[in-house]
Amino acid sequence: MKKKHYYVLWSGGIDSTFLIDKLLKDGHKVSAGYVEITNNPNKDKIELEAIIKLYAKIKVKYPEFRFNDTIARYDMYLTPVQLAINQPLFWLMSTVVCVPWECDSIAVGFIQKDDALSFLPEIQAAYKAMGKLRRDPLPKLEFPLIKHSKSEIYTTLDHSLVELCSFCETPNVVPDTAPCGHCNKCTEMKRFIEYGWVTDHWFSPRKKFDRSLIEDESEDAGEILHPAERLLKLEDMDELTQEELRKAKLKLRDRHLQRREESNLILVDKKLSDSFSSKVLKGKLKKIVKTPIKLGIKSMRDA
């Protein structure tokens, strides 16, 4: 196999980190850069923190690996324009403008069942169109991971690297940088924690995540899993289509909201019950019962 010089757009997440590790193991020369989307500064902060830690660890094993820091920054504003893909357009422009000409290929870490895979021809066409403005040779755009599943990545990548990767879409930075625990990526990570693929060190230093999102009920305890919960607890998530996962998540969300409403009703009912059982209210009720009720009713004859 011919050895190449790959340039990877590195987010600090599990997919792009696995891509870098795989290319280095295959004997390729690898450089990486970060594209910053400044409308979510907390996400940028947590991703760059992860990259710094990952780079230090990867560099020990592969001294030839290079990280070029942030190669481009973009401000994204809300507009009425609807796009099928959004951030990949910024990544493509960054590679055309910033990636050095001596690189043979640009490697993007799209994995099996990523939504963007439906638009690979359009992405390639957009890349080539923008590349016509470049005087230097345009590196080839490749997607080496499109046949790799998420479970394969988590079980193949070195565990010490997995533990350093970022994943949260809307992280908190006050008082400490930590995942929000509510976005889609956090919910996905919680499932992977349940499977035992990773530890829960991201969430445990703060507050244990709400396990009602992924109920750890068992039939041995006399409870049967809701169909959506059973679907989401399947060990091989790659057997499900994106549409099946989306429907399962919606059902699980509705189930969670229903349980929360039921819990609130029970709590209100208990408070009312406690109030009515209090001695003060009991005394008031006794006085009301003892007091005769007089109705001022006039008959037609008295009128």
Could you read off the pLDDT of 17-41 as tens digits, one per residue? 999 999 999 999 999 999 998 877 8
**Cβ atoms of residues 144 and 19 within 8 Å:** yes
Average pLDDT, the chain: 76
What Cα–Cα distance (Å) separates residue 46 from each residue in 49, 63, 186, 282? 5, 24, 14, 57
Q: Which residues contact 212 (CB under 8 A, 6 or more apart)?
A: 256, 259, 260
Percent of the chain as helix, strand, coil, to the nearest 5: 50, 10, 40
Q: Please name the amino acid found at residue 38.
A: T
Single pTM value for the model: 0.65
Strands 105-107 and 5-9: parallel
Q: How confident is the model at residue 243 (pLDDT cuts 50, 70, 90)?
A: low
CA distance 244 to 246: 5
The tens digit of pLDDT for each residue in 65-93 reads 999 989 998 887 777 777 777 778 888 88
pLDDT at 74: 86
Q: How confident is the model at residue 207 (pLDDT cuts 50, 70, 90)?
A: very low
Instruction: Please tell me whether the peptide bond between 139 and the residue prior to it is cis, using omega within 30 degrees of 0.
Output: no
The tens digit of pLDDT for each residue in 142-177 reads 999 999 988 888 888 988 898 889 888 888 766 566
Is pLDDT at 107 greater than 70 in this prediction? yes
pLDDT at 66: 94
pLDDT at 126: 92
Q: How confident is the model at residue 57 (pLDDT cuts 50, 70, 90)?
A: very high
Mean pLDDT confidence for 239-250: 63
pLDDT at 295: 44
CA distance 113 to 242: 7
Is pLDDT at 288 greater than 80 in this prediction? no
Backbone angles phi, psi at 212, to 5 degrees: -65, -20
Containing 271, the helix (H) or strand (E) segment is helix 242-276
**Structural domains of the chain ordered from first start:** 5-166 (3.40.50.620), 211-275 (no CATH)
pLDDT at 67: 94
Residue 117, exposed/middle/buried by CB under 10 A (0-12, 13-18, 19+)?
middle
Q: Where is pLDDT greater, at 218 or 188?
A: 188
**Cβ atoms of residues 108 and 9 within 8 Å:** yes
**Using only C-alpha atoms, what is the Rg of the chain?**
28
Percent of the chain residues past pLDDT 90, beyond the cut: 28
pLDDT at 218: 36
Q: How confident is the model at residue 102 (pLDDT cuts 50, 70, 90)?
A: confident
Is pLDDT at 253 greater than 50 in this prediction? yes
pLDDT at 89: 84
Is pLDDT at 129 greater than 90 in this prediction? yes
CA distance 71 to 149: 29
Residue with tokens 């005769």: 292
**Mapped to the 3 state alphabet, what secondary structure does 39-79 carry?**
CCHHHHHHHHHHHHHHHHHHHHHCCCCEEEEEEEEECCCCC
Q: How confident is the model at residue 194 (pLDDT cuts 50, 70, 90)?
A: confident
Is pLDDT at 223 greater than 50 in this prediction? no
Nearest to 186 by CA among 205, 164, 202: 202
Kindly report the length of the chain: 303
Containing 130, the helix (H) or strand (E) segment is helix 120-131
